[in-house]
């Protein structure tokens, strides 16, 4: 459900129209991600609603009994918010509400309800605390929650700021939008999702999610640990993310959805323009991201260990969706690779078969020390003895590091990479970046 922000490299800008691209190179890249345990994923690209590329690499679960295919459904997390925003704008066009309608009309007990508008909820400017950031969230994410219980959870939190004065991503706001849809119409959010979008577009593999069922070609999310994929130990109960993150889909269906949205088949041009109105990085149910000279609109999603992205380049009428149910590199790196190959930009296929190098005992000692990070409540001891180098995190056993260069060390069994600062010729031994599970953390020597 958390938003996934793109680094500026991902969408920087582009000149080529990419009418043709190196499909074999893209196949090689996608397949190598799975073969080298970097990701289990599904990728689809379409132009003017006609598929031009798709590839599926990985498995539904750690049993490796069924491969991901074009009909495998993934949890798409916060991409759900774009669907919810579409339904809200449809209701506005029907005269059932307005962007200026106050939340107090539906839930007067919400803090600042008489100041918070529908527009504030859509654009994350309500000041309503994001309940997924609460320390208690992990204890409720797997439990069935009624709409009344969700509302009580949101009501119990303090306001972060005065409505309209700041922008702060809030899943709570989009849960409220789903509840408002139900209050306005007397019908369930799921029924509106079906009639207004899924049935209207003929989407075959998109639905409001429930408990994952492998026999129905629904993917589990996974971790990579001790040299193998294992099922993620927690499964969010979809009653909790609700209208902020409960949809399941496939990349082809998501491409059909974004094509329809940006070709005014779901909302009017006026409504779409409002959705695309960006303030402090966020629109009304959409993000905007750059890639070379172009820009795309869409949304990202993350729930459990699923990560997802669905974007549309209006200038090319191009839709691209990437869904994963497990990865050990940053999701952003995958998107950079896919887009760079499609748009014929310089992109060197990564070498996942790095060969270790030998470092002298004298050299290895330079890496030793106690390191800490501002982002994590742990310290890591790098120790070099007897020509070997190990790392040991607070409260954990030491694990061996393999040098692949003067800066890069790895522990493949847990998909950990440690990269020291500086350059190959002039290493900065006082800092390193720890990479694991698609995340990065900077550590500095104490």
Question: Cα separations (Å) of 105 from 109, 122, 130, 172, 183?
Answer: 10, 16, 21, 17, 10
Same domain, yes or no: 383 and 348: no
Question: In whole angstroms, what is the distance from residue 48 CA to residue 53 CA?
Answer: 13
Q: Residue 131 has what DSSP assignment? A: G
Same domain, yes or no: 163 and 305: yes
pLDDT at 347: 84
Same domain, yes or no: 429 and 308: no
Same domain, yes or no: 389 and 304: no
| DSSP-assigned beta bridge partners for residue 40 | 326
Same domain, yes or no: 184 and 42: yes
Same domain, yes or no: 383 and 247: no
CATH for 376: 2.40.128.50
pLDDT at 19: 52
Question: In whole angstroms, what is the distance from residue 198 CA to residue 209 CA?
Answer: 13
CB atoms within 10 A of CB 337: 23
Burial per residue of 183-221, b for 16 or more beta-carbon CB atoms within 10 angstroms, e otherwise: ebeeeebbebbbebbbeebebebbbbbeebeeeebbbbb
Predicted confidence (pLDDT) per residue in 55-72, tens digit: 999 999 999 889 999 999
Question: In whole angstroms, what is the distance from residue 56 CA to residue 8 CA?
Answer: 27
Q: Which residues of the chain are under the pLDDT cut of 50?
A: 1-18
Same domain, yes or no: 291 and 386: no
Q: What is the pTM for the complete model shown? A: 0.82
CATH for 246: 3.40.710.10
pLDDT at 150: 95
CB atoms within 10 A of CB 5: 12
pLDDT at 271: 98
Same domain, yes or no: 67 and 176: yes
Q: In this structure, what token pair is assigned to residue 157? A: 């939190």
Domain, as residue range, for 216: 1-353
In the numeric block, the tokens 């654009």 are attached to 123
Task: Name the helix (H) or strand (E) containing 43.
Answer: strand 39-47
Q: Which of 321, 353, 385 is the last residue of a domain?
A: 353
Q: Which of 318, 353, 388 is the last residue of a domain?
A: 353
Same domain, yes or no: 418 and 349: no
Predicted confidence (pLDDT) per residue in 222-231, tens digit: 999 888 999 9
Predicted confidence (pLDDT) per residue in 116-154, tens digit: 999 999 999 999 999 999 888 988 999 999 999 999 999
**For the chain, what is the domain count?**
2
Same domain, yes or no: 347 and 368: no
Q: Which of 320, 353, 386 is the last residue of a domain?
A: 353
Same domain, yes or no: 36 and 83: yes
3-state secondary structure of 439: strand
pLDDT at 277: 97
Same domain, yes or no: 339 and 393: no
């Amino acid at each position: 459900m958390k938003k996934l922000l793109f680094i500026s490299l991902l969408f920087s800008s582009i000149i080529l129209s990419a009418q043709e691209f190196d499909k074999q190179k893209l196949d090689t890249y996608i397949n190598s991600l799975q073969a080298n345990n970097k990701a289990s994923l599904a990728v689809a690209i379409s132009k003017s609603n006609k598929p031009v590329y798709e590839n599926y690499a990985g498995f539904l679960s750690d049993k490796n009994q069924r491969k991901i295919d074009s009909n495998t459904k993934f949890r798409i997390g916060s991409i759900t918010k774009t669907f919810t925003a579409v339904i809200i704008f449809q209701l506005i066009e029907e005269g059932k509400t307005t962007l200026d309608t106050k939340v107090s009309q539906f839930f007067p007990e919400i803090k600042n309800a008489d100041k918070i508008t529908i527009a504030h909820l859509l654009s994350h400017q309500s000041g309503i605390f994001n309940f997924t950031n609460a320390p208690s969230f992990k204890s409720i994410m797997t439990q069935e929650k009624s709409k009344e219980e969700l509302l009580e959870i949101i009501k119990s939190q303090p306001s972060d700021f005065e409505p309209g004065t700041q922008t702060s991503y809030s899943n709570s706001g989009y849960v409220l939008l789903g509840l408002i849809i139900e209050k306005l119409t007397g019908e369930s959010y799921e029924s509106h999702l079906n009639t207004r979008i899924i049935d209207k577009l003929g989407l075959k593999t998109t639905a409001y999610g429930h408990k994952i069922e492998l026999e129905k070609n629904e993917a589990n999310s996974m971790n990579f640990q001790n040299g193998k994929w294992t099922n993620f130990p927690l499964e969010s109960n979809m009653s909790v993310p609700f209208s902020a993150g409960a949809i399941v889909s496939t990349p082809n269906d998501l491409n059909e959805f974004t094509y329809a949205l940006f070709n005014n088949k779901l909302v009017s041009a006026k409504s779409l323009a409002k959705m695309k109105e960006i303030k402090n990085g966020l629109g009304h149910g959409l993000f905007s991201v750059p890639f070379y000279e172009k820009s795309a609109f869409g949304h990202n999603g993350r729930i459990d260990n699923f990560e997802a992205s669905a974007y549309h380049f209006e200038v090319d009428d191009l839709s691209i969706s990437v869904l994963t149910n497990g990865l050990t590199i940053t999701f952003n790196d995958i998107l950079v690779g896919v887009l760079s190959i499609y748009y014929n930009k310089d992109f060197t296929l990564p070498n996942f078969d790095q060969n270790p190098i030998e470092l002298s005992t004298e050299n290895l000692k330079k890496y030793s020390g106690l390191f800490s990070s501002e982002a994590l409540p742990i310290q890591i001891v790098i120790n070099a003895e007897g020509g070997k180098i190990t790392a040991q995190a607070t409260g954990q056993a030491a694990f061996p590091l393999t040098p692949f260069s003067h800066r890069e060390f790895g522990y493949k069994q847990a998909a950990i990479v440690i990269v020291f600062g500086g350059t190959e010729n002039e290493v900065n031994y006082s800092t390193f970046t720890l990479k694991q599970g698609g995340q990065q953390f900077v550590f500095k020597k104490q």
